[in-house]
Structure 1
Amino acid sequence: MLILQRKEGESLLIGDEVEVTVLAVEAGRVRLAIQAPRSVTILRSELKGAVQANREAAEEEVSPLELLGVLKEKKE
């Protein structure tokens, strides 16, 4: 892991196409601006786990009868 210190207005480059600029540091929070090509996915780390869980849930095979049973339970 690389650890850097940057002040407001300073930037860092990731490869040739991604630039991260520190916009503000206030009350223990940092505002960042990220300039990258549209083909680069930018995702908050806490959402990465949610995306993976969603993919895994979508891949699970559940029989239609089992799904109907769940719906019936919710209706009651």
Structure 2
Amino acid sequence: MLILQRKAGESLLIGDQIKVTVVSVEAGGRVRLAIDAPRSMTILRSELRRAMDANQDAAREEASPMELLGLLTGGTDGAKR
């Protein structure tokens, strides 16, 4: 994992096609990012990707609704990996 420090207005490049710019850093540490990438590239928040994976797992095997809800709300109760 690469860890970088950037200030508001500064960017980083991923390959030749992706540019991530720090738009602002708000009180409480919340960071707003702008991502410039080809439209054909899927960009998801990690919690949505985990929920998608859990949904696919649930389609293959039985998972409780509370397990799936925990993934959406950020809980780790009973999360299968």
TM range (shorter): 0.7 to 0.9
TM-score under structure 2 length normalisation: 0.69
Within 2, Cα distance between the matches of 1:15 and 1:40? 13
Q: Is the partner of 1:40 in helix, strand or coil?
A: coil
How far is 1:58 from its partner?
A: 2.5
Percent identity over paired residues:
75
Higher percent of residues as strand: 1
Q: Which runs of 5+ in 2 are unaligned?
A: 63-81
Within 2, Cα distance between the matches of 1:33 and 1:46? 18
Cα distance per residue 1:18-50 (max 9 Å; x no partner): 000000001110000000011211111111110
Q: Which runs of 5+ in 1 are unaligned?
A: 62-76
Q: Give the alignment of 1:1-76 within 5 angstroms.
A: 1-27=1-27, 28-60=29-61
TM-score under structure 1 length normalisation: 0.73
Aligned length: 61
How far is 1:60 from its partner?
A: 4.0
Q: Report the AA paired with residue 32 of structure 2.
A: R
Within 2, Cα distance between the matches of 1:33 and 1:45? 16
Q: Which has the larger radius of gyration?
A: 1
